[in-house]
Amino acid sequence: MNLHEFARRMPKVELHVHLEGSIRPATLLQLARRNSIGLPAQDVEGLRDFYRFRDFAHFVEVYVTITRCLRTPDDYRLIAYEFGADCARQNIRYAEITFTIATNTKYTGLPWQVILEGLNEGRALARAEFGLDWGWVFDISRDRPGTQDQVLDIALSARDEGVVALGLGGPEADFPPQLFERSFERARQAGLHRVPHAGEVAGPESVWAALRLLHADRLGHGVRCVEDPALVEHLRERQAPLEICPTSNVCLGVYPDYAAHPLRRLWDAGLLITVNSDDPPMFGTDLNHEYQVLVGHFGFDADELEQVSLNGLRASFLPQADKARLEAEFRAEFAQLREESNV
């Protein structure tokens, strides 16, 4: 067994993946047909081309198109179940999935409780069939700051239904963390975890603000911290987890290619790195592919691959008892994989 096969078979955790951005093109076509929604293409191949990232405006267009095709609780049940099936295929054992609840209530007209009930029915089906689980991160869309109190209130109300954190996504450069300080402070006071995107399109100042003003427990992306040595040292000392998505960063033009990406430098500097897929079909990736990138482009060996996986578990918001149980399972699987390989 070579390193690529080791990476494919190893147990994994994913912390930065958007549910809407994970919907398969074939499923989008199915949803559009049953809900009588027009699409820019009428076959799977055409939709794959539509999904392919061109620029941020097109990315938003794709996201809105996807969300408009979701209309019923059955639709939400389907996309959650299929997400679980895709996790099982990659041996992802736990995930924390971002979902933009306010956009979905806007386009469907459904109460958030109905949407979440559908999502959790799909989650339960996946748990029963595949033996995996996940938590929800309900995120505020930066270009709709007026929804932040609504999203936070929903997230707080749904903590017993799988919501583990408040997120913040969307156009980072135009909507700085300062606009959302109020809702993130409320989340902190209520004991809800906080995972804003920061340091992707905007630079180190966005990361500093996410830490100081939004009290971030984890940072979505965070890669541009590399531009500020003091920030890198601060993140190392604090062991603040970064949710790095290499292929997404390249597709979005944050870096021109993997060779220019700072993941290896940040890893070698001692930061707590996790690796994730972000919006898999939009960027032509999945978590298995991201681990192949670690091997092929960043030179990770088996020990480092194992540590990345355990970092994801460590940085998750699972209760400590569940983390300990999963870590024991992961370590046993890694030991078995090493027995079967020469890596």
Classify residue 99 as exposed, middle or buried by CB count within 10 Å of its CB (0-12, 13-18, 19+): buried
Contacts of 87 (CB under 8 A, 6+ apart): 14, 93, 95, 126, 130, 132, 134
C-alpha dist (Å) from residue 324 to 247, 278, 313, 329: 30, 26, 9, 9
- What secondary structure, in 3-state letters, does 84-106 show? HHHHHHCCEEEEEEEECHHHHHH
Q: How far apart are CA 205 and CA 164, in angstroms?
A: 26
Catalytic annotation present for 200: yes
Pick the catalytic residue: 20, 96, 172, 200? 200
| Buried/exposed code over 261-296 (b: 16+ C-beta within 10 A; e: otherwise) | bbbbebbebebbbbbbbbbbbbbebbbbbbbbbbbe
* DSSP SS3 for 177: helix
Instruction: Return the SS3 of 270.
Output: coil
Cα 342 from Cα 340, distance rounded (Å) = 7
Residues 166, 137: contact at Cβ < 8 Å?
yes
Question: CA 222, CA 208: separation in Å to the nearest integer?
Answer: 10
Three-state secondary-structure class, residue 213: coil
Q: Are 194 and 187 in contact (CB under 8 A)?
A: yes
Q: What positions carry a catalytic annotation?
A: 200
